[in-house]
Amino acid sequence: DVAVVANSVTYGRPRGIFSAGVEEPNALVQVGNETMLRATQVELVDGLEAIGLNGRGRLQLDSNSPSGGGQGGGPRYDKIYAHCEVLVIGGGRAGITAALDAAQTGVRVIHVDEQAEPGGRLLSAGWNDWLAAGIATLESAPDVRVLPRATAFGHYDQNLVLIAQRLENGGRLWQVRAKRVVLATGAHERSLIFANNDRPGIMLAGAARTYTNRFGVAPGTRAVIFTNNDSTDVVAADLKRAGITVEAIVDVRAGEAVVDTSSSPAGEGMKFPSPARGGGQGGGLRGVTIAPLTGGGPRREVECDLLCVSGGFNPTLHLFSQAQGRIRYDKGLACFVPDVAPPNVEVVGAAAGDLGGRGQGTIMPYWVVAGDGQAWSNHFVDLERDVTVADVRRALGTGMRSVEHVKRFTTIGTGSDQGKTAGINETAIIAAQLGQPVGAVGVTTFRPPYVPISFGLMAGRNRGDLFDPIRVTAIHPWHVAHVEAALVLPARGRGHGSRRPPRMPSGTRKRRRDGRLDPRQD
């Protein structure tokens, strides 16, 4: 069993696996020469060696690496340019349906999905037969190209989309120009904020369902579910079916909330690592404290080793915003949704705010559980950057009002996960402190890349002569044949990479004038 996978970057607090996808803020590993990989996306194969990344890290010379910047046995990268009429990004139900519809029209279709097998959340929901039939149809269609393990990380002018595809020993950069782009990028589940909400054993409810149903791994033995929406109903049912005891379901709509957690058995006294003095000691979750939202009334302590949290879902609008699409806040869904789409860009499924497939149902917008007189220094907003509610309040206390300024002051969303689970929580905290609507505060700018990418992927094979190509003249072979006798050729190109003799010695000109040196003879 693995409970602690890393220590936090600033306070050294123990952290565990929080999600099951690209939004993971804690479990970062290095595999071979590739660093800053999310353990939740690394496929397990025989002989895999992964090194956990803790804290701040440091730059150091790797004495085992080959000379020449890793040009020996390191990863290999390619570049491919492609064109299509329809580019579908996302392999969930909406993405597969969009690709199937486009394939029936006979146009060229490229279907992109970041996972090893398409399906999205359906892989954890028992849709195996439908998925198998849909994927088989796409793979057999003559004008459909399916790209697995491929993440679209940039959406630029005129529907130019950059895609990073993971290969066995390296990667491939796809530069795709599409006539129409369909964004079926899904939605990320977000957390609720409460005291000591960063302990190992606390994870998103959807992630717990994924590990249980798709991978057959029990993330705990005794679970508590903390939610403000209906999506956790199926989570509770699946956990029970897998033999995991659900000790309590805490729903803010019923007037209850998890106000604190403990790392020791409930009833033995709660000791919390302080951010001020670090928190490397301690381990996984051992219990939670449940209390009424009003602050009064009795409290109860429940022993558990798994806390499944769901604060709703955020449509994944990074690519949509990069393409200059406008978004708006939907009060009914408690999230930002697409408003005005760019030309030839369509958003479908959960990314468009259709959260029925997530089972969100009725949601009560709720963000932060009251601190019970504490200084908010252990209510974590951004787990990767170790940013707390206290940091956000401090930024507002200095006079900052823009969400962009608060982001830079606190570093929320500046980690490798780009705040995928923290962004709207930051907005909600600012809105509550300033007495403004969440929609008026807005969100920070979504910038490419959507996920971290390596410099090697951008460079590809452009090294040496491929990085600086040499152009030669039509009579270059003759120049080479007579270089020792007549001509002086530069070692590299002159003027836009062209290679031609800068001069001819006087003796050469005389022999050519006398007819003793004729390039037509070669």
Query: Tens digits of per-residue pLDDT, 296-339?
Result: 789 999 999 999 999 999 999 999 999 999 999 999 999 999 99
Looking at residue 63, its pLDDT comes to 47
Three-state DSSP state, 500? coil
- Of residues 363 and 53, more confidently modeled: 363
pLDDT at 369 over 50: yes
**Sign of dihedral through CA atoms 505, 508, 512, 517?**
negative
Q: 385 vs 201, 312, 453, CA distance in Å?
A: 19, 22, 19
At 234, the amino acid letter reads V
Average pLDDT of the segment spanning 403-417: 95
Average pLDDT, the chain: 86
Which letter does DSSP use for residue 349 in this model? Answer: G
The residues, any chain, with a CB within 8 Å of residue 126's CB and separated by 6 or more, are 213
Pairing relationship of beta strands 144-147 and 14-15 according to DSSP bridges? unpaired
pLDDT at 402 over 90: yes
Least confidently predicted of 105-114, 352-361, 422-431: 352-361
Looking at residue 267, its pLDDT comes to 36
- Classify residue 209 by burial, with Cβ atoms within 10 Å: 0-12, 13-18, 19+: buried
Q: How far apart are CA 131 and CA 277, in angstroms?
A: 50
- Per-residue pLDDT band for 522 (boundaries 50, 70, 90) equals very low
Whole-angstrom Cα Rg for the chain: 28
Average pLDDT of the segment spanning 175-186: 98
Which letter does DSSP use for residue 370 in this model? Answer: -
Q: How far apart are CA 229 and CA 355, in angstroms?
A: 11
Bridge partners of residue 183, in order along the sequence: 89, 347
- Per-residue pLDDT band for 518 (boundaries 50, 70, 90) equals low
Looking at residue 509, its pLDDT comes to 54
- Per-residue pLDDT band for 65 (boundaries 50, 70, 90) equals very low
pLDDT single digits (tens) 453-509: 998 899 888 776 666 667 777 877 777 776 554 455 555 544 455 566 666 655 555
Bridge partners of residue 86, in order along the sequence: 109, 180
pLDDT at 208 over 60: yes
Task: Give the tokens for residue 335.
Answer: 């999230």
Q: How far apart are CA 159 and CA 182, in angstroms?
A: 10
Q: How far apart are CA 163 and CA 195, in angstroms?
A: 39
Peptide bond into 449 cis (omega under 30): yes
Q: 188 vs 150, 205, 350, CA distance in Å?
A: 18, 11, 9
User: With pLDDT > 70 as the criterion, what percentage of the chain qualifies?
Assistant: 82
Whether the CB-CB separation of 340 and 259 falls below 8 Å is answered with no
Q: How far apart are CA 473 and CA 475, in angstroms?
A: 5
Looking at residue 405, its pLDDT comes to 97
Whether the CB-CB separation of 124 and 210 falls below 8 Å is answered with yes
The dotted CATH code for 191-311+367-441 is 1.10.10.1100
Three-state DSSP state, 98? helix
- Per-residue pLDDT band for 88 (boundaries 50, 70, 90) equals very high
Task: Give the tokens for residue 275.
Answer: 């951010």
Q: How far apart are CA 90 and CA 40, in angstroms?
A: 18
Looking at residue 344, its pLDDT comes to 98
Q: 487 vs 167, 494, 515, CA distance in Å?
A: 47, 15, 17
pLDDT at 175 over 90: yes
Query: Where in the chain are the domains?
Result: 77-187+315-356, 191-311+367-441, 468-521
Q: How far apart are CA 117 and CA 84, in angstroms?
A: 22
The dotted CATH code for 77-187+315-356 is 3.50.50.60
